[in-house]
A and B are shown apart, each in its own frame.
Chain A
Amino acid sequence: MLLSEVGYARPAAVEEAVRLLAEHDGARPLAGGQTILNVMKARAAAPDVLVDLADLEELRAIASTDDGGLVIGAMVTSAELVTSSDVKAARPVLGDVAAQIADVQVRNRGTIGGNVCSNDPTNHLPPVLVAVGATMTIAGADGERDVPAEEFFLGVYMTAVGLGELLTRITLPPLAGARDGFSSVTIGADGTCIVNAAATVSGDEARVVLGCVAATPVLLTAPAEDDAVREAVHGAGLEPPSDVHGSADYRRHLAEVVAARAVAEAGGGG
């Protein structure tokens, strides 16, 4: 399909990217392009300028922190998360979940930054990043600011990244004895999630984050036991959407199931 006319810039530094994003009202960052190009084909959005982040090397790195955590650049692809030994050592859930995103070709292009900044409620990574307690670093004209993942997702397709700003990296704390889990029910193997849940279990406590049931990931805490987790989800007053893939009632049911499975995978008791 022929896209609407669009400007294109490929800056070599984050400051230059931020300047371009700030100077052009209709400018949008172009990461892997696996969402925005489809959105442009559908004429659902018409950016004036695409700021291609491909040459920003500092956004492509995965690094371990001294305390055993991870710093992941926004332009790291899903395929790179899957094969990274640093990810496997520090927070393996991230690679395990990235391996379930779409297909090989999309994982080769799609980035962690794009996955979270598009904030489609069915995306895989937002619930994971909220569960692990990640920190999102956003660059703007006035420098950088850090936003906790649980405050980052504001609405469908909306995040704390404002106009003229750019998500540059995501910091994951060390496991420090905790364990992570993830469970989903999808449309076909590795397909779009109908409901998903990420869990981080520390001691007897579980942080459970549900995706696909609201505009943003839903964070709950509960004792890390099957019955308690199900009860917490049941009592959360979820009002998930109904669509061709599942009614609201079915999603409410699945939310309990995947939450309990995610907690079990993270070592929570039954």
Chain B
Amino acid sequence: MEPVTSKRVAVTVNGALHERDVEARRLLVHFLRDELDLTGTHVGCDTGNCGACTVIVDAKAVKSCMLLAVQVDGATIETIESLASDGGLHPLQQAFSDHHALQCGYCTPGMLMSAKHLLDHNAEPTENEIRRAIQGNICRCTGYVNIVEAIAAAAKGEVSA
């Protein structure tokens, strides 16, 4: 095996299989946005601090600006576009709306994917567990209180119809 500067990658994103030739240097977030046109995943700080680019890879929340697309060959990926279905909001999305858990909205896709990762692994999180689960996601608008309340409400199924 010799090193290559580009390679064929097959990934399942939101249930659909995609195969592309990808440069080794391409970050996953740019692959999602520019190759697959899934622009809901945002680039924020581009240094792994802000979490705006959070997606779920093989059931684990990760920052897609700190992963090469070639590293996820064969993986199953969930992005923000997977949450709403048949025109209806995901309970987390509805809870964010109910609780005014966003203002500018830039961090929201990443925040929702971290929240989904939490509820996928812990159906009844405490407030402290919610706060620790979104520690890697920076919001400069809300002060977090409404985000924490929204995630708690979604966990309890207390969302408006």
User: Which label, helix, strand, loop or mixed, suits the secondary structure of the A interface?
Assistant: mixed
B-chain residues with CB within 8 Å of residue A102 when the two chains form the complex: 136
B7 at the interface (CB under 8 A from A): yes
B-chain residues with CB within 8 Å of residue A108 when the two chains form the complex: 60-62
B34, chain A: closest CB distance, angstroms: 11
B-chain residues with CB within 8 Å of residue A11 when the two chains form the complex: 1
- CB<8 Å pairs between A and B, sample of 26: A1-B27, A3-B27, A4-B25, A5-B25, A7-B4, A7-B5, A8-B4, A8-B68, A8-B70, A10-B70, A27-B3, A30-B68, A33-B66, A34-B48, A37-B66, A38-B48, A41-B46, A41-B47, A50-B24, A51-B3, A54-B71, A105-B51, A105-B136, A106-B63, A109-B62, A109-B67
Tell me whether A3 and B133 are in contact (CB under 8 A): no
B29, chain A: closest CB distance, angstroms: 10
B84, chain A: closest CB distance, angstroms: 22
Which residues of B line the A interface, CB within 8 A?
1-5, 7, 23-27, 30, 46-48, 51, 54, 60-63, 65-68, 70-71, 114, 117-118, 132-133, 135-137
A255, chain B: closest CB distance, angstroms: 26
User: Which label, helix, strand, loop or mixed, suits the secondary structure of the B interface?
Assistant: mixed
Cβ-neighbour of A104 out of B3, B48, B71, B114 (below 8 A): B114
A79 at the interface (CB under 8 A from B): yes
Which 10 pairs, one residue from A and one from B, show the smallest C-beta to C-beta distance?
Answer: A103-B136, A7-B3, A8-B24, A3-B25, A108-B60, A9-B3, A49-B3, A103-B135, A105-B136, A105-B63
B70, chain A: closest CB distance, angstroms: 5
A194 and B61 alpha carbons, distance in the complex (Å):
27
A41 and B47 alpha carbons, distance in the complex (Å):
8
Tell me whether A105 and B1 are in contact (CB under 8 A): no
A54 and B137 alpha carbons, distance in the complex (Å):
26
A49 and B7 alpha carbons, distance in the complex (Å):
14
A24 at the interface (CB under 8 A from B): yes
Which residues of A line the B interface, CB within 8 A?
1-11, 16, 20, 24, 27, 30, 33-34, 37-38, 41, 48-52, 54, 79, 102-106, 108-109, 189-190
For residue A191, which residue of chain B has the nearest CB? Answer: B135
A-chain residues with CB within 8 Å of residue B23 when the two chains form the complex: 5
A3 and B27 alpha carbons, distance in the complex (Å):
8
Tell me whether A104 and B68 are in contact (CB under 8 A): no
Tell me whether A104 and B1 are in contact (CB under 8 A): no
A105 and B29 alpha carbons, distance in the complex (Å):
14
Cβ-neighbour of A7 out of B24, B117, B133 (below 8 A): B24
A49 and B70 alpha carbons, distance in the complex (Å):
13
Tell me whether A104 and B117 are in contact (CB under 8 A): yes
A-chain residues with CB within 8 Å of residue B71 when the two chains form the complex: 30, 33, 52, 54
For residue A40, which residue of chain B has the nearest CB? Answer: B25
A177, chain B: closest CB distance, angstroms: 33
A105 and B5 alpha carbons, distance in the complex (Å):
27
A108 and B5 alpha carbons, distance in the complex (Å):
26
Tell me whether A38 and B24 are in contact (CB under 8 A): no
